[in-house]
A and B are shown apart, each in its own frame.
Chain A
Amino acid sequence: MSEQKLRDRCILVVEDEYLIADDMRIALNDAGAKVLGPAPTVAAAMALLTAQPDLDGALLDVNLKGTMVFELADALVARAIPFVFATGYDETAIPDRFSSVPLMEKPLKTCNLISALGPLLPDREVTFS
């Protein structure tokens, strides 16, 4: 079910390590999602976010070469775009305001990623053609 929910959805991936970012991209592509990015920095991700009006969700690494991703997370909250954190830190590194955001520990399991992200996405509008 969750896998179906990701089909054709546009998911932003933010992760500074290319090998991991590429792994996330492959996993999301395999689940039928379209990947925006991946972006290695907050600045690059902000640029993508601004340019992309139709974003369905995001997968965020917490620490991007020493810069925390929370500024971007706030921007996503402001646009009501659901997201999950992927991190090597425990939950104490995450500010309280994101306490309801799912936290995925690295290394990610592809099935966990899809089952965590899928339910966050709003139901698709049913269109009749």
Chain B
Amino acid sequence: MASSNAPAQDNERSNLLDENEQLRTALESALEDNANLADDRDRLLQRVAVLVRELQSAKQTGDLIAAASSLRERDRSDELVRSAESEELQVAFEELQVLAEELEVANTSLEQANDELEARVEARTSEVNAINAALCRTELRLKTLLDGMPQLVWRSRDGGRWTWSSPQWEAFTGLSIDYSRDLGWIEALHPDDRNVAAEAWERVEQQGYLSFEARIRNAQTGKYRYFQTRASPVRTPEGNVLEWLGTSTDIDDIIRLQEQQAVLMDELQHRTRNLMAVVQAVMTRTLRGTHSLDDFRRCIEARMGALARAQGLLSRRGVHRVTFDALLREELGAHLDLDADGNATQVTLKGPSGVPLESSLVQTFALAFHELVTNAVKYGALSSQTGHLAVCWHVASADQKTEQLHVDWRETGVVNLPAPGDKPRGGGYGRELIERALPYQMGAQTSFAFLSDGVHCTIKVDVPQSGT
């Protein structure tokens, strides 16, 4: 943000400064004109004063002459002298009148010039005031921006010698503006990252900008967070570096998210590959247990369906653990019509809801129950009207630390049971999953038996402790 707006603001500021400078020069020359005119006026005023004094003394002389002439009215011998003096006086008076007129003209033009000058000064002053106000607004905007931005802002001379740091810097690092000055800021950096900063400053001359990532210590938490630090030089019109303006932006969350994303990608890869291996294993087993391609297709489709349902449960958003009842109902629901309570005509489900399962067990559990339900529908309790399936479960403490889920699967009323020693009719995959896969993966204790009227299967398996 700073990098895109700063030059525009710099331009505006520099234009305003230029304009201000021009106005100042104009004002100075106007003031000089004004001073010259004032000098002229002063000189004229002095001359007027001299003339007025002369006139007064001339008047006095005139009065004296008038008095004398009246005394010597009849003195005809003096008449010539008197008329000559009177003529001189007349000439002086006329000269004075001319001078007074000149003075009046000069004074009028001086007053006009003065008025004009005052108007110009006033106009220039208001322009300067407007420019100053604009500059103040720009300063205020910049200050508001600097104070409000989340970045830690600083100014520096060449070589990373700081001259100023923003309040945000002090708030985050606990280092005052005075302490951080010069190379004091280095102390906020992680000791392992101080070289990174020093090397970045060594590169600026050739790069033209500063950029590095380093951990900065938060004074409040005592922990380091990753920051991206960038700075650009402020240059004179000739291109010399006046100073550096820099920001340090907190990128710790982004880095953490990137790391998490990498872990998740690895995990996704691992799970996908494992799932493909499971699919391959199920296919191999299904190939061995079926007699025709049609048979294979029906069987593999059903098993893929069970795996897909397990994946669906595992990837449900906001659900941390798949629960046993959800898995059981999902699997039964894929084969039977369940009512709102999850029961069906020939099925009784009894047990608490919300018992969590280890995620690594869900797939095998789903596949095992799929086989049990499929066999019940094909050959067992759900293959005729007389049969019944009861699934009961509860949680019991195995020891002080561990809780176990106990599941009891009991089919009754089944006629037409296989004789002991007969080849299992479903291929025996369900039985194998119960008897071998669950104990292998989760240390479960299981049993599977054909009683006189149907299958009886029990499972005891550890459930994850709450909060794990």
Whether A17 lies near B266 (C-beta < 8 A) is: no
Whether A18 lies near B271 (C-beta < 8 A) is: no
Whether B440 lies near A107 (C-beta < 8 A) is: no
Which A3-29 residues sit within 8 Å CB-CB of chain B? 16-23, 26
Q: A18–B360 Cα gap in the complex (Å)?
A: 11
Give the bracket for the number of chain B residues in contact with chain A. 20 to 34
Whether A40 lies near B266 (C-beta < 8 A) is: no
Min C-beta distance of A108 to chain B, whole Å = 7
Whether A106 lies near B273 (C-beta < 8 A) is: yes
Q: Which of B278-286, B291-299, B403-411 is the interface stretch?
A: B278-286
Whether B271 lies near A88 (C-beta < 8 A) is: yes
Whether A107 lies near B277 (C-beta < 8 A) is: yes
Whether A18 lies near B440 (C-beta < 8 A) is: yes
Enumerate chain A residues within 8 angstroms of B276, measured Cβ to Cβ.
106-107
A89 with B269: in contact, given A17-B277, A19-B282, A20-B277 (CB under 8 Å)? yes
Enumerate chain B residues within 8 angstroms of A22, measured Cβ to Cβ.
281, 285, 436-437
Min C-beta distance of B6 to chain A, whole Å = 41
Whether B266 lies near A89 (C-beta < 8 A) is: yes
Enumerate chain B residues within 8 angstroms of A88, measured Cβ to Cβ.
269-274, 277
Enumerate chain A residues within 8 angstroms of B436, measured Cβ to Cβ.
18, 22
Q: Does B221 contact A (CB under 8 A)?
A: no
Q: Does B364 contact A (CB under 8 A)?
A: yes
A20 with B281: in contact, given A40-B441, A89-B266, A93-B266 (CB under 8 Å)? yes
The 8 A CB mask of A60-93 against B (1 = contact, 0 = none) is 0001010000000000000000000001111001
A21 with B440: in contact, given A93-B266, A107-B280 (CB under 8 Å)? yes
Which A76-129 residues sit within 8 Å CB-CB of chain B? 87-90, 93, 105-108
Min C-beta distance of B433 to chain A, whole Å = 8
Tell me which of A23, A40, A93 contacts B281 (CB under 8 A): A23
Number of A-B contacts (CB under 8 A): 68
Enumerate chain B residues within 8 angstroms of A106, measured Cβ to Cβ.
273-274, 276-277
Whether A16 lies near B441 (C-beta < 8 A) is: yes
Tell me which of A23, A63, A93 contacts B284 (CB under 8 A): A23
Whether B364 lies near A19 (C-beta < 8 A) is: yes
Enumerate chain A residues within 8 angstroms of B271, measured Cβ to Cβ.
88
Which B215-231 residues sit within 8 Å CB-CB of chain A? none
Q: A107–B281 Cα gap in the complex (Å)?
A: 9
Which B233-286 residues sit within 8 Å CB-CB of chain A? 266, 269-274, 276-282, 284-285
Q: A93–B273 Cα gap in the complex (Å)?
A: 14
Min C-beta distance of B361 to chain A, whole Å = 10
Measured CB to CB, the nearest residue on chain A to B284 is: A23
Interface size on A, residues (CB 8 A): 22
Whether B280 lies near A23 (C-beta < 8 A) is: yes
Enumerate chain B residues within 8 angstroms of A105, measured Cβ to Cβ.
273
Enumerate chain A residues within 8 angstroms of B277, measured Cβ to Cβ.
17, 19-20, 23, 88, 106-108
Which B288-329 residues sit within 8 Å CB-CB of chain A? none
Enumerate chain A residues within 8 angstroms of B367, measured Cβ to Cβ.
19
Measured CB to CB, the nearest residue on chain B to A16 is: B441
Enumerate chain A residues within 8 angstroms of B278, measured Cβ to Cβ.
17, 19-20
Enumerate chain B residues within 8 angstroms of A87, measured Cβ to Cβ.
270, 273
Min C-beta distance of A67 to chain B, whole Å = 12
Q: A40–B274 Cα gap in the complex (Å)?
A: 14
Min C-beta distance of A24 to chain B, whole Å = 9
Whether A16 lies near B360 (C-beta < 8 A) is: yes
Q: A107–B271 Cα gap in the complex (Å)?
A: 11
Q: A93–B378 Cα gap in the complex (Å)?
A: 46
Enumerate chain A residues within 8 angstroms of B360, measured Cβ to Cβ.
16-17, 65
Whether A18 lies near B284 (C-beta < 8 A) is: no
Q: A65–B436 Cα gap in the complex (Å)?
A: 18
Whether B437 lies near A20 (C-beta < 8 A) is: no
Q: A105–B424 Cα gap in the complex (Å)?
A: 35
A107 with B284: in contact, given A19-B364, A20-B278, A40-B440 (CB under 8 Å)? no
Measured CB to CB, the nearest residue on chain B to A90 is: B269
Measured CB to CB, the nearest residue on chain B to A23 is: B281
Enumerate chain A residues within 8 angstroms of B266, measured Cβ to Cβ.
89, 93
Enumerate chain A residues within 8 angstroms of B284, measured Cβ to Cβ.
23, 26
Given A20-B277, A21-B440, A23-B285, list of 5 further CB < 8 A pairs?
A19-B278, A22-B281, A23-B280, A23-B281, A88-B274
Residues of B within 8 A of A (CB): 266, 269-274, 276-282, 284-285, 360, 364, 367, 433, 436-437, 440-441
In the assembled complex, 28 residue pairs joining A and B whose CB atoms fall closer than 8 Å, in A order, are A16-B360, A16-B441, A17-B274, A17-B360, A17-B364, A18-B437, A19-B278, A19-B281, A19-B282, A19-B364, A20-B277, A20-B278, A22-B285, A22-B436, A23-B281, A23-B284, A23-B285, A38-B440, A40-B441, A87-B273, A88-B271, A88-B272, A89-B266, A89-B270, A90-B269, A106-B273, A107-B279, A108-B277
- 10 shortest interchain CB distances as A-B pairs: A88-B273, A23-B281, A18-B437, A88-B270, A107-B277, A106-B273, A19-B281, A107-B280, A106-B277, A18-B440
